[in-house]
Structure 1
């Protein structure tokens, strides 16, 4: 039975990893320790998953708990620090996405993995969603031949999307913006479908919906004088998890979970457009917006033998439909329709399947769903290159990010 330790005790760490370790995975794994800079939150976390030992120091946890693998689920900008320290201590690592937030940190992780001989897995749960996996199968079966181009759009609604602007994600320094924190999922899914590496990126981004776009705003929802009239009001005391794990433990680290989505300090984009040229010649047009009336994604995959069209709506009028469809149009004038029943469970059933693959390992992996540092780097670097392209107004190559170490300063400016 392998031993695991967790650094970072937020919602994702609790529900994706810790709780399942004491239920569905209890016969296969042992959680030996947790660490968080907020000791009060870490203790609450421990109480919800078997009173696992809470450590006041990360290195002490590695030494005394002797984990085989460390799960990194901290704020994104610190992923590289804990990944590298765990690798140096002789542990393997499971990292929440994104792998990290910029090229310099990415290079450091790749170097540490190669030097230590340990392994880093990245949890890209989109690969495990049955609907997404069926598209991968159709591509591998040659349904559309060689892929020439992909058009992909992801829409976040103003419930889910707005939440990124309340939390630590609102800072480019913390998250790399949504082109890294959120889009790393999307870019990995596309890279996985294509089986090609990105080479050159050109991008545009703006912030015109969130941030200082209205006068009626405050510092946080809890104390805001406009709470009765603001459609983005979030009552942190009404949500039990947010109340106990964030509001009631604020004194330990000063983190405020219900910051105003129209705050002056927000410096990440809310509307993004990206073009990517891939190593095999495929072209990608990608868009992400965080203020849509509904949530979900749409894709058109154009190939030498035909076209795939698919969409998965998560909120809105079509969200409750039990069946998802994939349409294949070939050059014989035929339309082939594939029905995939909507899977239950978190993230379209992806979380449960991912856990089974990485923690139990008793199922085959013919589609290559397990992801390591190469996949983590390639998806994250598209976002990092896009951020640089937005600021510079010029295309950026993955090669220069990987092989020409230099200081990188990313500023987020709103382009109207």
Structure 2
């Protein structure tokens, strides 16, 4: 029997979900309505459904008509892909109206909103799923398998370095993410993926978090300090932006023009703000130390302006070491082909036994984003889930624990002190 879905927030991330539903899961899913604060974006999403996917248009509702949409369409599940700071609003109201929820990561952006979601789940008995596609990437699943099987014994420490380049990394400083009120900063919006992976790999939870860092590269003050002279607030219509490698041209990209430039008349949102303009209050350089309940420690760094995109990890165990290097295809959100996101360019997974010869572990990559992980996640969400020995489907508890590492990190940045995760939220388990 088909389940009925509605989707809230038709921006850059939405098509990953609704495109898959109408293309690959028509036997199990029925997409019945879109909801967004911007009618132009709603109309564009409907145009894509009609012209790109040939499934016809569906009903649209502005954000102030969310309750009306639920009452009229009677969906089983609400998909939430709106701006991060609004996730909790739609998640909670959907559950109060009797719907289950699938939400894009991060589940929300701060401890208060996290607690409100947890309380609503207990109050309503509804379910919330969080979409961690990185869990499903074959190399990440293989890491979990190696650690689970004791290949390097008990893991005592992890060093995890994530690199965002000057194309993808810069994009967070052009968009609404640049305001921490919207995104929780990169420690919440982006690092939630990485903190969830460590929880998944080690099968444990964070206990204490200490963070340091700041805005070191982007922003007007940093540009002035380096002696740069090009200052403008947005790229569109600005001559200085034409030869600026950090600028994007909304007019030159049909998708960006239709989704954002033509929608500006309704809400004034500018998708192409200068990464060296005013108004940025998130960090681009971050270091975090986490102690876990199993006594393992994590040293983590995130930099958003590097020459390459990807991550390097070392797991140090009682019987050896695992080293991982993954280089990913850089991309601009909504600015290119969907398959570009998480596409692998280079991957090395190496085991170094304590008393043996090092060896590389081959991992078969499949078609689709994140080495074939995206199709598996989508099937888990919308198809007939397969038996999964690794339990990669993420619950609201997984979603909460991952963001609480970043939320604790944000609090540590403010106070200069280590933060106990359990002091932030009552998960009611």
- The question of a shared fold, defined as TM-score above 0.5 by the shorter chain, is answered with yes
Q: Which bin holds the TM-score, normalised by the shorter protein?
A: over 0.9
| 1:169 aligned partner | 177
Deviations 1:324-369 (A, max 9, x none): 3311111222213211244332233222110111211331121010
SS at match of 2:198: helix
State how far apart, in whole Å, the 2-side matches of 1:155 and 1:315 are. Answer: 12
Q: Determine if the alignment matches structure 1 residue 104 to structure 2 residue 83.
A: no
- Taking the TM superposition and a 5 Å limit, the aligned residue runs for 1:13-412 are 13-14=14-15, 16-49=16-49, 50-56=56-62, 57-212=65-220, 213-214=222-223, 215-315=229-329, 324-403=347-426
| 2:339 aligned partner | none
Unpaired segments ≥5 residues, structure 2:
50-55, 224-228, 331-341
Contact 1:168–1:175, Cα closer than 8 Å, also in 2:
yes
Deviations 1:6-47 (A, max 9, x none): 000012111x11111111111110001110000111111022
State how far apart, in whole Å, the 2-side matches of 1:141 and 1:323 are. Answer: 25
Contact 1:217–1:224, Cα closer than 8 Å, also in 2:
no
State how far apart, in whole Å, the 1-side matches of 2:423 and 2:98 are. Answer: 30
Contact 2:114–2:400, Cα closer than 8 Å, also in 1:
yes
Contact 1:324–1:339, Cα closer than 8 Å, also in 2:
no
SS at match of 1:326: strand
Contact 1:324–1:342, Cα closer than 8 Å, also in 2:
no
Q: CA deviation at 1:225?
A: 3.4
Contact 1:203–1:272, Cα closer than 8 Å, also in 2:
yes
Contact 2:344–2:370, Cα closer than 8 Å, also in 1:
no
Contact 2:232–2:274, Cα closer than 8 Å, also in 1:
yes
Q: CA deviation at 1:403?
A: 4.5
RMSD, aligned CA: 1.6
Contact 1:323–1:342, Cα closer than 8 Å, also in 2:
no
Contact 2:95–2:126, Cα closer than 8 Å, also in 1:
yes
Q: TM-score, normalised by structure 1?
A: 0.93
Contact 2:322–2:349, Cα closer than 8 Å, also in 1:
yes
Q: TM-score, normalised by structure 2?
A: 0.91
Contact 1:272–1:287, Cα closer than 8 Å, also in 2:
yes
Residue correspondences, number: 401
| 2:9 aligned partner | 8
Deviations 1:235-284 (A, max 9, x none): 11111110011101111111111011112100000000000000010000
Q: CA deviation at 1:224?
A: 2.5
Contact 2:327–2:344, Cα closer than 8 Å, also in 1:
no
State how far apart, in whole Å, the 1-side matches of 2:219 and 2:143 are. Answer: 37
State how far apart, in whole Å, the 2-side matches of 1:313 and 1:333 are. Answer: 27
Deviations 1:131-175 (A, max 9, x none): 111111111111111110100000000000011100000000000
Q: CA deviation at 1:197?
A: 0.8
